[in-house]
Amino acid sequence: MKYFLHCSIIWLLVTSCNTKNDRLPILGRTEIKNVTFEGKVKADTIYHSIRDFSFTDQDGNTVTEGTFKDKIYIADFFFTTCPTICPIMKTQMLRVYEKYKDNPNVLILSHTIDPKHDSISVLHDFAERLGVVSNKWHFVTGDQDDIYDIGQNYYMVTSLEDPDEPGGYIHSGAFLLIDKSRRVRGMYDGTLEEKVDLLLKDIDRLLQEYGEK
């Protein structure tokens, strides 16, 4: 199956990287805007961040950006009937789940790219088969255009219907590490164990950045 990360050199700019204090980069476009504060004009950096959203999870609960307030989370895109990379991705994401299942500061958000098939009940059964709990790992469905928009324009990954592909879709195998300000702090190939090893290390680094374990 052809799949790819939607991350051109221009689009995925590393906008902040301080190796001295071991901070993770902030990925995405950055804007510099002039703002007036106390009568003085100053330059303010606006970082790329995930927009507001509203989806429905495997228990029928509404999941919004507020669900992840003061949390870091790992996001991905999949569909339950995927015959190629998704089973590998879920095996790797289970490693993340198992390591942080007792850590309230880390959550997981998986978006289906096939909402016509992946109903709430389908996602519920899928989560049950994985043996995960919904307050830690949210599998969400919603309007397809909305899911595609947030994937391509905010998480910076690609998902497309493609009848020539196994399962009818082409999509990224990326895991995205999102901080408490909804900024993308890392992108990892969720089909490769060594890349998920790096993700696990970077989650710990991000937790340390917030003074957490």
Q: Is the pLDDT of residue 203 over 70?
A: yes
Band of pLDDT at residue 142, cut at 50, 70 and 90: very high
Q: Is the pLDDT of residue 45 over 50?
A: yes
Largest Cα–Cα separation, the chain = 59
Q: What is the pLDDT of residues 72-90, one digit of tens each?
A: 999 999 999 998 899 999 9
| HSE of 103, CA atoms in CB hemisphere, 13 A | 18
CB 111 within 8 A of CB 82: no
Torsion sign across C-alpha atoms 77, 106, 97, 22: positive
Instruction: Give the model's pLDDT for residue 43.
Output: 66
Instruction: Give the model's pLDDT for residue 168.
Output: 75
Instruction: Give the model's pLDDT for residue 154.
Output: 97
Band of pLDDT at residue 186, cut at 50, 70 and 90: very high
Identify the burial level of 116 via C-beta atoms within 10 angstroms of its C-beta, where 0-12 means exposed, 13-18 middle and 19 or more buried.
Answer: exposed
Q: Which residues contact 91 (CB under 8 A, 6 or more apart)?
A: none
Report the predicted TM-score, pTM, of the whole model to 2 decimal places.
0.85
Q: Which class does domain 50-209 fall in?
A: alpha beta
CB 125 within 8 A of CB 117: no
